[in-house]
Structure 1
């Protein structure tokens, strides 16, 4: 391998685990001593639809799906040690995804060992083991198409001869390493691991072999890792469940108390706004047989990261983290250039935030845009809404005359998001938007601008009702945007612990 590229010799790795191998767990494993960390298997069809977004608030790189879900999130801390594992059965699509992520990860891995139906039904995972030609086509396409190392993870085949033949064929594609789970695709963790197969494979090829599958019987503590390496004759070791249960298995100073490990994990989950249900799932895996304890029941009942922080006495950490993240959002928004037009594909965008106080109570940009479209004899504007899962903020795209407009800033309510989109459209078109102090454009009739009708008293009452409704909507949206955190909660005093690693910004 070229200088500076990731080495797979004599390493200990966090194995790819669905719903576990997200950013908080990967960073935790690195903290405790893992050399390399794999993300969870991500399906190529979904990843190919993503666009890369630099998240300046979280200081991460996010790969975001069309529905605004973050499919993969990474950061500078793990850039030279994270391996992106994909599920694929198509060489061209695999290359598309690999090129999408190659600047942000250390290597790309192809899953050829997952026996679960969600992977195999598409011809991916362990289903590839019966199609060596496709395995060769995928790996060759990746090895020649990207600048970073390519690896794969397999399960053993029914006979040792078949297994060795397959791995030799894999080696010829030019991959940097192969991980071998020492079980057949029909076998489960309760079945004994075939260390002799891994050992035979390691002797048969010259590339590094990474042994996997020893968590239940062979690896319980850090001291067992080297014994597992020797028993399999492998160059390196990959741990899944042992690391999921207590990531301090990677530390030669461990194991650490589970309470500490869970708190350290939760701090990363809060810091990187990990989805609460994913956070809860990982905590429950760590609790194992204690999941029905008082703490376990509190974790299971939690619906937000704020509620999970209460279960672990981390309310103050949560509060301070939210304040810091909000301060970053505010700083970024105040430093944006609202009048700078940027094309995002076919969408005209500006960094515009709708400020209600800048407009008369009965005048809005949406109203001006509607009146202008009528004057120009166009179809009325159409608004599309999306909601961001991590903070439940909204973003709207308005379509007018077959052209689309959007603000790059997210709003706390659907109403404000539509108004921001209307502002962008009006500014791009050079049309007045109705702000206070703006010269009368004649777009909205004098009666509407001044709010005077024959039934003035009735309109005033109606205006008050609408204002109250707006306030309720904004309040509800604000609560939703805070992820359910109760601002009035007072966190209890927490005892100081010595020798604890601090997660900082």
Structure 2
């Protein structure tokens, strides 16, 4: 399930994502730094879903493929998308004019991942050029190739060139997947086989026909569109789909009815709850949300007795598998601030952080030195700041110290911050500057001090490291 408004998943976005197991939804989520879910999948589709990405860089493509390969059935590179958001970055159909880059990207992927690698292209201006490119692609070791039977400047109103797809299939030994038949060829399940035969392909890929009615793949025949919409919305709600993605997909199924009163209501909807209201599914939505909340509580109760992992000594470093979740801490409070305050009270040197950056996915891992002992989380973070916070958490938990999480409101630093905020509010209301408070605050760790750490990051790739300023 792509949650970014149905645009293809672009490698540069996915490379920044973190893989998160979502126990509530029973899914695996790939989450961007801004907390958006870019890709969500589940064990039921692990052996079926093919992860398609837009890319123009072999190394970045490999990093993304390695990030998702254990959760998908295959990796596909989209070399046929003619949309500007894809081509302006050298991706999609822009790659068709650079066969060498195509070869490099696919060869890198085939050698670097354990799952089958495929690609999708559009046909070139001549049959000879098309066959030549496909033969070159075949030599990279891809498992199959999808051919959209239109040139990159052609659109749905232009007829699909089945003869080009057939010629490709006759000239290569790998499976050829026919694409582009939704507009003219595929209206029913039986039409899928007719399109396959007309193009001489081994199988068929559908996009628009599947968006118009996802049940077109039912051998018994497609469901009525309204029934398909209802079934789709149920999946969207159960798996907490992005509202705008849900709305887009339903609009595709409504087609000409998108300007009807129902369609206008759908356009105005801003949440999945409001979408359910449009289609008379409010009761279903409430029950689905109640089920999710119940599952959350069950998971919290089952994990409450084993909230934190136990520290493990790895060489001279004490490690734990923890991550920093900003939402679990009050505003203006972080584990680093707690650790800094504790160090000062104990009259010890300020904690020292060293951070490594992993090349393949740009993730970070920090080690903090406190009282001549090193602490580190075994989990990599999406930013240097988060990695340092995770290291501080390991230290605090190992020492049995509070870290400022919500629920630890009785801890000293939280109470100080609350008193400071109340004092600032009073001062602002009265127009008086409280110099006493300002003096007292100067002896406590500020956000700026808390953020200060070593000005070096070690960039790592495998076992090698290079220190850069």
CA–CA distance in 2 between the matches of 1:276 and 1:317? 16
1:249 aligns with 2:216: yes
CA–CA distance in 1 between the matches of 2:273 and 2:398? 40
Partner of 1:288: 255
1:234 aligns with 2:196: no
CA–CA distance in 2 between the matches of 1:47 and 1:110? 13
CA–CA distance in 1 between the matches of 2:336 and 2:203? 61
Deviation at 1:430, TM superposition (A): 3.7
CA–CA distance in 2 between the matches of 1:427 and 1:339? 8
Deviation at 1:342, TM superposition (A): 7.0
1:334 aligns with 2:301: yes
User: Which residue, out of 147, 157, 160, partners 2:124?
Assistant: 157
Unaligned 5+ segments in structure 2 are 313-317, 352-367, 380-390, 420-425, 427-469
Verify the 8 A CA contact 1:150 1:175 in the aligned structure 2: yes
Across the aligned residues of Structure 1 and Structure 2, the Cα RMSD in angstroms comes to: 4.2
User: Which residue, out of 89, 92, 100, partners 2:59?
Assistant: 92
Partner of 1:61: 28
Q: Cα 1:323–1:144, aligned 2, differ >3 Å: closer, same or farther?
A: same
1:19 aligns with 2:5: yes
CA–CA distance in 2 between the matches of 1:197 and 1:352? 54
Verify the 8 A CA contact 1:352 1:423 in the aligned structure 2: no
Deviation at 1:400, TM superposition (A): 12
Q: CA deviation digits over 1:329-358, x for unaligned, max 9?
A: 1122222223435799999558999899xx
* Structure 2 counterparts to residues 295-334 of structure 1, below 5 A: 295-334=262-301
Q: Cα 1:184–1:325, aligned 2, differ >3 Å: closer, same or farther?
A: same
Q: CA deviation digits over 1:156-214, x for unaligned, max 9?
A: 00110000000111111111111001111111111111111111111111111111111
1:202 aligns with 2:169: yes
TM-score normalised according to structure 2 size: 0.70
Verify the 8 A CA contact 2:189 2:221 in the aligned structure 1: yes
Verify the 8 A CA contact 2:53 2:77 in the aligned structure 1: yes
* Structure 2 counterparts to residues 422-433 of structure 1, below 5 A: 427-431=397-401
1:215 aligns with 2:201: no
Partner of 1:190: 157
CA–CA distance in 2 between the matches of 1:275 and 1:349? 24
Verify the 8 A CA contact 1:340 1:351 in the aligned structure 2: no
User: Which residue, out of 231, 249, 261, partners 2:228?
Assistant: 261
CA–CA distance in 2 between the matches of 1:94 and 1:355? 35
Verify the 8 A CA contact 2:4 2:245 in the aligned structure 1: no
Mean Cα deviation higher: 270-279 or 83-92:
83-92
Q: Cα 1:137–1:294, aligned 2, differ >3 Å: closer, same or farther?
A: same
Partner of 2:388: none
CA–CA distance in 1 between the matches of 2:58 and 2:130? 22
Between the two structures, name the one with larger relative contact order (CA 8 Å, sep ≥ 6): 1
Verify the 8 A CA contact 1:339 1:351 in the aligned structure 2: no
CA–CA distance in 2 between the matches of 1:189 and 1:234? 20
User: Which residue, out of 127, 132, 145, partners 2:94?
Assistant: 127
* Structure 2 counterparts to residues 45-60 of structure 1, below 5 A: 45-60=12-27
Q: Cα 1:244–1:121, aligned 2, differ >3 Å: closer, same or farther?
A: same
How many residue pairs end up in the alignment? 376
Deviation at 1:294, TM superposition (A): 2.0
Partner of 1:111: 78
Verify the 8 A CA contact 1:341 1:349 in the aligned structure 2: no
Q: Cα 1:89–1:351, aligned 2, differ >3 Å: closer, same or farther?
A: closer
